[in-house]
Amino acid sequence: MIEVKCEICSVEMNVRYDNKFGHVTFICPNCSAKKEIEWIKVAKKPRSAYIAATLHVLEYDEDVFISAVGGDRISKMFWCVYAVLVQRIAEISNTTVRQLNGSAIEVGVILHRRKVK
């Protein structure tokens, strides 16, 4: 479950997953504020592709959501997160675990771009 608080009224926001366009949308039930985050789903590509995609998204947006289903893909996702954290480009904003159909479990991480001083 993702627990992201609204920046305006500090209420927990509802989550919508858009599989077609690869976005996660957070909607505040109190003030109707919306926050849309790019969603990277780790699959069969090499680790370097996901690291590059994450860096590309963080270049233009503040946040990115990376998720994976299955042991090999989850380890690949954490390699990507580790590579971005070591370079001090982003920090972990939130982590997620949700159950999909039946027994499949999706693990995700929301990365927030660090402020440059």
Per-residue pLDDT in tens (0 to 9) along the chain, 117 residues = 567 788 888 888 888 888 888 899 989 998 988 989 999 999 999 999 999 999 999 999 999 999 999 889 999 999 999 999 999 999 998 888 888 888 889 999 999 999 876
What is the structure's pLDDT at 60? 92
CATH class for the region spanning 39-113? alpha beta
Q: Where are the domains of the chain?
A: 39-113
Determine the pLDDT at residue 51. 93
User: Which residues does 95 contact at the CB level (< 8 Å), separation at least 6?
Assistant: 107, 108, 109, 110
pTM listed for this prediction: 0.87
Cα atoms found within 13 Å of the Cα of residue 62, Cβ hemisphere only: 4
Produce one character per residue of 9-37: b if its CB has 16 or more CB atoms within 10 Å, e if not: eeeebebeeeeeeeebebebeeeeeeeeb
The backbone region for 15, taken as left when phi is positive above 0, alpha when psi lies in -120 to 50, beta otherwise, is beta
Give the integer Cα–Cα distance in Å for 25 and 16: 5
How many CB atoms lie under 10 A from the CB of residue 85?
Answer: 15
Residue 11 pLDDT = 87
The predicted pLDDT at position 20 comes to 84
